[in-house]
A and B are shown apart, each in its own frame.
Chain A
């Protein structure tokens, strides 16, 4: 049973470019979460999505960031016009459709974004 798959693992962008990070949840999981880890800080919640729905985006910056989880295909976290402060590790996590254990998320290995 494949785990949560994130790609790319490493992404380098210049200021002003766009970054797209992809996440495929575990098989049987329909809930996806994105977290960001800035250097020397803990992971911080960004957004919670189900298929075709954003459930909670309270942790998303108001500008330049967007997320989607289409009916088919992976979840995408998109960052437009990147700035140096966007350099971070972005973690995706998923949880099952049923039988959810509170607090138990299954994480990918993360995508490390570096903005030059």
Chain B
């Protein structure tokens, strides 16, 4: 079946530290990959996406590269801020034109000043 596995949390870092949140996937086809973020008290929102191998998604200083050979889509940021504290979800979809997402379990990130 299709599944997403994320790095277990919670993750706690100091401001300006380098962030990596690992995400690997299993898919029967050729998925599109996403990172969603949920800030405290808000709904999930799309952070970035990649639709084919070697694509790099980026937004707000975050990046993730679609690696087909390792079935991975790790999230990175060079220098985190306190405002990046949130829960991060990796997800995939196989159905173009539909919105049936398969999510990882989420990784809670806390950034200390």
Contact = CB atoms under 8 A, between A and B. Distances in A.
Interface in A21-61: 31, 33, 35, 40-45, 48, 56
A76 B60 CA distance: 34
Interface string A80-116: 0000000000010101000010111111111000000
B91 interface: yes
Given A43-B103, A45-B100, A48-B98, A103 B44 contact: no
6 contacts: A45-B102, A91-B43, A95-B99, A103-B49, A105-B46, A107-B45
A42 B99 contact: no
Contacts of B89: 42-43
A48 B99 contact: yes
Interface of A: 3-4, 31, 33, 35, 40-45, 48, 56, 91, 93, 95, 100, 102-110
Contact of B99 (A41, A105, A108): A105
B105 to A, nearest CB: 4
Nearest to A40: B105
B100 A56 contact: yes
Interface in B70-102: 89, 91, 93, 96-102
Interface size class of B (residues with CB under 8 A): 20 to 34
Given A41-B105, A42-B104, A102 B42 contact: no
Contact of A103 (B4, B93, B106): B93
Nearest to B4: A42
A41 B38 CA distance: 15
A106 B105 contact: no
Given A31-B99, A103-B93, A42 B43 contact: no
Sort A-B residue pairs by CB-CB distance and give the 7 closest, nearest first. Answer: A107-B43, A42-B103, A107-B44, A43-B103, A42-B105, A108-B43, A109-B43
B37 to A, nearest CB: 11
B103 A106 contact: no
A93 B106 CA distance: 17
Contacts of B36: 107
A96 to B, nearest CB: 11
Contacts of B32: 102-103
